[in-house]
Chains A and B, each alone.
Chain A
Amino acid sequence: NAGVTQTPKFQVLKTGQSMTLQCAQDMNHNSMYWYRQDPGMGLRLIYYSASEGTTDKGEVPNGYNVSRLNKREFSLRLESAAPSQTSVYFCASRGRVRVGSIYNTGELFFGEGSRLTVL
């Protein structure tokens, strides 16, 4: 069971280059997320997709674009990379948990992270 898979694991870019981080989940979750993690700042939400066909901005969306290609896949694109985008990026997905006859919000399942360095 792969869970959440993101690629690439490592990437070095030059300022101004573009790249796309890929994310796929096999848990049939509706919601998917992209976070960035920087020292001393925890994880900050870039974009999320509550369901296939929808995307919404999070705390730090500037400089990024996303595509919810289908229910499984959610990609993050840097059109013109900047050194401030050097970070570790995490993709996550969220489902629901059944508690008796109701469904509660489930926790996030994370990919292994992608370390991006922009020179």
Chain B
Amino acid sequence: AQTVTQSQPEMSVQEAETVTLSCTYDTSENNYYLFWYKQPPSRQMILVIRQEAYKQQNATENRFSVNFQKAAKSFSLKISDSQLGDTAMYFCAFMLNNNDMRFGAGTRLTVKP
């Protein structure tokens, strides 16, 4: 069974600074997908970024980027120029093709003014 581990239950960062959230996963498969989801206090799950395992290039979406290390089974999220609106729970998720998605326990990020 696939597992996803987020080792940082809580983190904080000053506004405009950079923060990195960690995620590791365990699988014996070669083809899979990785995601970061954001959950603000509204409870809505919002996709931040996705990465296909067959792609060597790290995904980037504006201020959000990932460091995907396939051999190490690591998938960290970097948030640059942090904004107050980035305050949320962040979940790392793993999915095999045509299969269910497994989530980590989440990291609560607080951006301080």
Contact of A110 with B35 at beta-carbon distance under 8 Å, contacts A42-B103, A48-B100, A105-B98 already known = no
Of the A-B pairs whose beta carbons lie under 8 Å apart in the complex, a sample of 9, sorted by A's number, is: A31-B98, A42-B6, A42-B104, A90-B45, A92-B45, A105-B98, A107-B50, A108-B45, A113-B44
Instruction: Determine if B43 and A113 form an interchain contact, defined as CB atoms under 8 angstroms apart.
Output: yes
Question: A44-B103, A45-B101, A58-B100 known; 14 other A-B pairs, CB under 8 Å?
Answer: A40-B105, A42-B91, A45-B102, A48-B100, A56-B100, A92-B45, A104-B52, A105-B33, A105-B98, A107-B35, A108-B35, A108-B45, A112-B42, A112-B43
Residues of A within 8 A of B (CB): 31, 33, 35, 40-45, 48, 50, 56, 58-59, 88, 90, 92, 94, 104-105, 107-108, 110, 112-113
Near A by CB (< 8 A), chain B positions 79-96 give: 91, 93, 95
Decide if B11 is an interface residue (CB 8 Å cutoff): no
Contacts of B6 in A (CB 8 A): 42
Instruction: Determine if A41 and B43 form an interchain contact, defined as CB atoms under 8 angstroms apart.
Output: no
Instruction: Determine if A33 and B101 form an interchain contact, defined as CB atoms under 8 angstroms apart.
Output: yes
State in angstroms the CA–CA spacing of A59 and B45 once bound together: 20
Q: Closest approach, in angstroms, between the C-beta of A34 and any C-beta of chain B?
A: 11
State in angstroms the CA–CA spacing of A33 and B101 once bound together: 9
Contacts of A41 in B (CB 8 A): 105
